[in-house]
Structure 1
Amino acid sequence: MLQDIRLAIIVNPELPPGHLANTIAAISIGIGSAMPDLGNRQLTDSRENTIDISSNRPVPILQADSQTIGALLLRALPKEERRIVVPFPAFARSMHSYADYEGQFPERDLSAETIDGIGLAGASKWVKSLTGSLKLLR
């Protein structure tokens, strides 16, 4: 099922370090919950210490400005089967509970919002077509 799956997280490198880390973490949780086979495994070492794995494939963190990320989101939508699209709109940062975010979301238009980051998971060809020209976050 996951043979041809590629991942990418794209974030705005101008975010402060704490916001950058939070954006990447939140997007990662969204991708993982939408496609649990990416990490839903455990490994046991020679001393019988068992851990939950982080990911069974690379997760490149790419960079783009918020305008490029917004355009990328619109190209990735509408979401199709076996394609994961997890945006992090900037307005989410001002919410102090998920209930507030969920309540406000239907009133928002993502095409008019600043998007701080986006996570993509899907067929390699699709993800590459959207991210092929982006650089790694440094």
Structure 2
Amino acid sequence: MTNELHTAIIVNPALPAGLIANTVGAIGIGIGAKRPQLGGDRLTDRHQRTIDISSNKPVPILQADAETIRNIMLKIIASGTEGIVTVPFPAFARALHNYQDYQQTFPDRDLSQETIDGLGLAGPTKLVKSLTGALKLLR
């Protein structure tokens, strides 16, 4: 396998559709901020209409229950693995409506005890697939 950059977003399928969409969108922004090489390009069509691209790689949206998502997140954090972007979406974040509140609350939280609604990963293909290979696509 290659060390090429691979991405995946895992979300809890038990969430309502709107929360799934919000979770995936927020995680996508986090991954893109840490790995701007995944997007940022601009393309121009033959009529000189230019757009910003969404992504230059596939972003599979996978499903898992909250416990599985949390366990994958904790496994990555505990391993101290360098080179993998880990973007969790803890459920408690939904009750906070500005980043400063989230930032202030976060140090008092224990991620091993929190419900994690979603998790975004970006890193070497072999590593990301080893963590997500058994998960099904969200349908």
Verify same fold: TM over 0.5: yes
Q: Which residue of 1 aligns with 2:129?
A: 128
Q: Which runs of 4+ in 1 moved over 6 A?
A: none
Paired residue type of 2:59: V
- Equivalences, count: 136
When the two structures are superposed, what TM-score results if normalisation uses the length of structure 1? Answer: 0.96
Find the aligned partners of 2:40 and 2:83 in 1 and give their Cα distance.
Answer: 17
Look up the SS of the partner of 2:29 in the other structure. Answer: helix
Report the Cα offset of residue 75 of structure 1.
Answer: 1.0
Q: Which residue of 1 aligns with 2:53?
A: 53
Find the aligned partners of 1:48 and 1:137 in 2 and give their Cα distance.
Answer: 36
Structure 2, unaligned runs of 5 or more: none
Paired residue type of 1:81: E
- Identity, % of aligned positions: 60
Q: 5 Å matches for 1:1-138?
A: 4-78=4-78, 79-138=80-139
Find the aligned partners of 2:35 and 2:130 in 1 and give their Cα distance.
Answer: 20
Paired residue type of 1:131: T
Paired residue type of 2:112: S
Find the aligned partners of 2:133 and 2:35 in 1 and give their Cα distance.
Answer: 22
Find the aligned partners of 1:55 and 1:130 in 2 and give their Cα distance.
Answer: 22
Look up the SS of the partner of 1:77 in the other structure. Answer: helix
Structure 1, unaligned runs of 5 or more: none
